[in-house]
Amino acid sequence: MDKCYPPAPSKVKVHRLTSHYLSAKVWPRARSSDGQSGRLRICRPRVQFASGAFSIFDCRLPIGPAFDIRNSSFPEGSLVDFYDVVRKRLSVRSYRPDPIPEDVLARILDAGRLAPSAKNLQPWKFIIVGDPEVKKALVPACRGQAFIAEAPIVICACCVVDQVWKGMGGYWSAEAVDITIALEHIMLAAAAEGLGTCWIGSYTEAEVRRVLAIPENVKPIALTPLGHPARESKPRPRKPLTEIVCYDKYQ
């Protein structure tokens, strides 16, 4: 597989505020299984990666005690529904060796490129590993997680330290936050394409540096395999919104 992905499509409409396609259509209210409603207002994007289009809609979602977006239903109408993507993104720890088409990889990586960052400094660098020997060498560097080498591609998301903003909270670096946002964009885009990923934070930094020849001014933050799942992953429990959301002040 050519490791350099092709240029982005030439016909791209860009909205002056969002850099995404926008629609004035407003979706009806969603309902949870218990029929309760709440006051959390969120944006509801609908994503169509096959054409490069993004549509953003706004709706009010219920957050009663039994609300779980994984059990909610939404109107059909576009290739991929954003909330379906969120539901389907699971940690995959078994992969088929099937190669990933270049255009698919390009869309996934471009989703990471479009991520926000502190001061828009975009301090990321993504190492795309396709060489089987390098992938094997990453397994002991990632503390024996052998499934990493099964995937056709491993992505190592790094921060170029001298490019990152260091004023978050008045005193700390945005390196982990910026790179985490970008990698999550990549993982959601992969889910939209029907591919699996798994956040790898258990690794020995010095070994990852050695295997991937990462210079001192660049810090590896996280890795993920990328490929077709060999078997279905099952969702793990999540805390209810009522446990993690409060209003106006910390409670």
pLDDT in tens, 102-145: 999 999 999 999 999 999 999 999 999 999 999 999 999 999 99
- Do 196 and 118 lie in one domain? The reply is yes
Q: pLDDT band at 24, cuts 50/70/90?
A: very low
**Number of structural domains in the chain:** 2
Q: What is the pLDDT of residue 151?
A: 98
- Do 35 and 128 lie in one domain? The reply is no
Q: Is 175 part of any domain?
A: yes
Q: Is 235 part of any domain?
A: no
Q: What is the pLDDT of residue 70?
A: 53
Mean pLDDT of 89-110: 96
Q: What is the pLDDT of residue 39?
A: 36
> Which residues does 4 contact at the CB level (< 8 Å), separation at least 6?
none
Q: Is 120 part of any domain?
A: yes
- Which has the minimum average pLDDT: 25-39, 91-105, 197-211, 227-241? 25-39
- Do 137 and 208 lie in one domain? The reply is yes
- pTM, rounded to two decimals: 0.71
CA dist., res. 88 & res. 91, Å (int) = 10
**Final residue of a domain: which of 60, 88, 116?**
88
Q: What is the pLDDT of residue 90?
A: 96
Q: What is the DSSP letter of 119?
A: G
- Do 107 and 218 lie in one domain? The reply is yes
Q: Please, what is the average pLDDT of the chain?
A: 78
3-state secondary structure of 118: helix
Contact 139, 145 (CB under 8 A): yes
Q: In this structure, what are the phi and psi dihedrals at residue 105, rounded to the nearest 5 degrees?
A: -60, -40
- Do 129 and 190 lie in one domain? The reply is yes
Q: Is 138 part of any domain?
A: yes
- For residue 217, the domain's CATH number is 3.40.109.10
- Do 84 and 107 lie in one domain? The reply is no
CB-side neighbour CA atoms (13 Å) of 245: 12
- Do 60 and 127 lie in one domain? The reply is no
Q: What is the pLDDT of residue 218?
A: 98
Helix or strand run (H / E) with residue 113: helix 102-113
- Do 50 and 152 lie in one domain? The reply is no
- Do 44 and 158 lie in one domain? The reply is no
Q: What percent of the chain has pLDDT over 90?
A: 67
Q: What percent of the chain has pLDDT over 70?
A: 68
Q: Is 238 part of any domain?
A: no
CA dist., res. 40 & res. 52, Å (int) = 29
- Do 153 and 220 lie in one domain? The reply is yes
CA distances (Å), 175 to each of 123, 170, 235, in order? 8, 14, 29
Does the pLDDT at position 9 exceed 50? no
Q: Whole domain around residue 19: which residue ranges?
A: 12-88
Q: Is 237 part of any domain?
A: no
Mean pLDDT of 197-209: 98
- Do 108 and 219 lie in one domain? The reply is yes
Mean pLDDT of 176-203: 97
Q: What is the pLDDT of residue 81?
A: 84
- Do 113 and 162 lie in one domain? The reply is yes
Mean pLDDT of 193-214: 98
